[in-house]
């Protein structure tokens, strides 16, 4: 019997543990699998041989995985070199691990691909399959990634709540800053709050941020109404590619962004003389079970189970991905995409999803994203 190992990488989501649950249940159903292990703390846990024996975890604890945010087995953003990948392959062979499931985003799929290549290069019969995960929804090939639907529901619901507050006392422009290094999927989801209690403007990293155009758009809106809600992505850059707010620091792909919301609130106060403030949910946007999307949760479970069954059936060097079926209603199917198509490839909002003026999204985006948030948002009174 060969053992199976599950590894998480990158930032957690509201449904990462749901994928773990799906993979574990599928693996347990296969009588040819020996130990089912998890690496505690991501790739570093693999290198330290810090194993969690998932067969020994009490069933009531495992049943809680789909409703638990974060990563129950930990995660990492370790910087790895060729030597570490060779060491990982050797450890997998020594521990008689024949199957590896790696859950994560662009960077983690790059890691998974390099582990697979190291195993191939060493002549080891170790199969590797990836499971997509990111709240930012920027993984290539897949229609969407588990984690995004819940983050989108959180931002849409929070936008509606914040807009109701602003409507009550319309004395300031409120800047709501969302995650999104290079892709604006999360910021765009604020539009799902609707027209009555939705954002007045959305600024996306797919479009260069032009200060004059932004101030004119805010001024124009302020001539129509008092009290605005502006949603911005943390990764906004000017036409020269410089961040609107200088990052606190940058190491490789890890960027700790500056206070974009605060910078824009200050800009409005200085240039327009209008009261402004900034709000930033930060990690709450990926950790909220209260706003977890039921669709996202179920698809995360399906992705984990699909990946486990695929690797046990002999597939390797690929990532599970979603493909939306044409026709009325929402329906997706899972398929396998080669690692080469997803390693470090970022999926940005297509032009068809961005309003021509750059300060909002189109109906095409609304149709795309609406099914992912798991049903209608709570209704709110307005009179």
Query: Is 136 among the residues known to form the active site?
Result: yes
As beta bridge partners, residue 260 has none
Q: Which of 113, 108, 107, 105 is closest to 139 using CA atoms?
A: 105
Q: How many CB atoms lie within 10 A of CB 309?
A: 19
Q: What tokens were used for 330?
A: 């929402």
As beta bridge partners, residue 178 has 233
Query: Catalytic residue among 136, 138, 200, 259, which?
Result: 136
Strands 228-233 and 276-279, bridge-based pairing: unpaired
- SS3 labels along the chain: CEEEEEEECCCCCCCHHHHHHHHHHHHHCCCCEEEEEEECCHHHHHHHCCEEEHHHCCHHHHHCHHHCCCCCCCCCCCCCCHHHHHHHHHHHHHCCEEEEEEEECHHHHHHHHHHHHHHHHHCCCCEEEEEECCCCCCECCCCCCCCHHHHHHHHHHHHHHHHHHHHHCCCCEEEEEECCCCCCHHHHHHHHHCCCCCCCEEECCCCCCCHHHHHHHHHHHHHHCCCEEEEEECCCECCCCCECCCCCEEECCEEECCCHHHHHHHHHHHHHCCCEEEECCCCHHHHCCCCCCHHHHHHHHHHHHHHHHHHHCCCCCEEEEEEECCCCCCCEEEEEEEHHHCCCCECCCCHHHECCCCCCECHHHHHHHHHHHCCCCCCCCCC
Q: Please answer whether residues 272 and 218 qualify as being in contact, where contact means their C-beta atoms are separated by less than 8 angstroms.
A: yes
Is the backbone of residue 345 left (phi > 0), alpha (psi -120 to 50) or beta?
beta
Catalytic residue annotation? 136
């Amino acid at each position: 019997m060969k053992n199976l190992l599950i590894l998480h990488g990158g930032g957690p989501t509201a449904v990462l543990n749901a994928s773990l649950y799906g993979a574990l249940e599928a693996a347990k159903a296969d009588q040819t699998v020996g130990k089912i292990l998890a690496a505690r703390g991501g790739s570093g846990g693999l290198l330290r041989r810090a194993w969690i024996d998932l067969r020994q975890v009490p069933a009531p604890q495992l049943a809680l995985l789909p409703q638990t945010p974060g990563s129950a087995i930990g995660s990492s953003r370790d910087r790895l070199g060729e030597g570490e990948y060779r060491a990982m392959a050797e450890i997998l062979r020594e521990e008689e691990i024949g199957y590896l499931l790696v859950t994560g985003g662009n960077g983690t799929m790059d890691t998974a691909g390099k582990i697979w290549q190291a195993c191939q290069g060493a002549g080891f019969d170790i199969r590797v399959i990836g499971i997509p995960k990111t709240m930012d929804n920027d993984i290539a090939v897949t229609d969407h990634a588990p984690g995004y639907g819940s983050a989108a529901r959180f931002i849409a619901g929070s936008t509606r709540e914040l807009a109701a507050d602003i409507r009550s006392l319309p004395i300031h422009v409120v800047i709501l800053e969302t995650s999104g290094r290079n892709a604006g999927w999360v910021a765009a989801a604020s539009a799902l709050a609707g027209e009555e209690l939705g954002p007045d403007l959305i600024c996306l990293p797919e479009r260069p941020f032009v200060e004059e155009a932004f101030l004119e758009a805010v001024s124009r809106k302020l001539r129509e109404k008092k009290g605005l809600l502006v949603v911005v992505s943390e990764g906004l850059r000017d036409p020269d590619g410089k961040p609107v707010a200088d990052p606190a620091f940058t190491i490789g792909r890890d960027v700790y962004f500056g206070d974009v919301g605060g910078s824009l609130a200050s800009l409005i106060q200085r240039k327009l003389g209008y009261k402004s403030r900034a709000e930033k949910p930060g990690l709450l946007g990926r950790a909220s079970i209260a706003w977890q999307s039921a669709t996202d949760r179920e698809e995360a479970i399906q992705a984990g189970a699909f990946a486990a069954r695929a690797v046990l059936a002999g597939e390797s060097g690929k990532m599970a991905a979603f493909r939306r079926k044409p026709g009325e209603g929402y329906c997706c199917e899972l398929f396998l995409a080669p690692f080469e198509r997803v390693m470090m490839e970022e999926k940005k909002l297509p032009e068809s999803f961005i309003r021509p003026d750059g300060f909002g999204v189109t109906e095409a985006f609304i149709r795309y994203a609406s099914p992912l948030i798991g049903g209608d948002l709570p209704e709110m009174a307005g009179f």
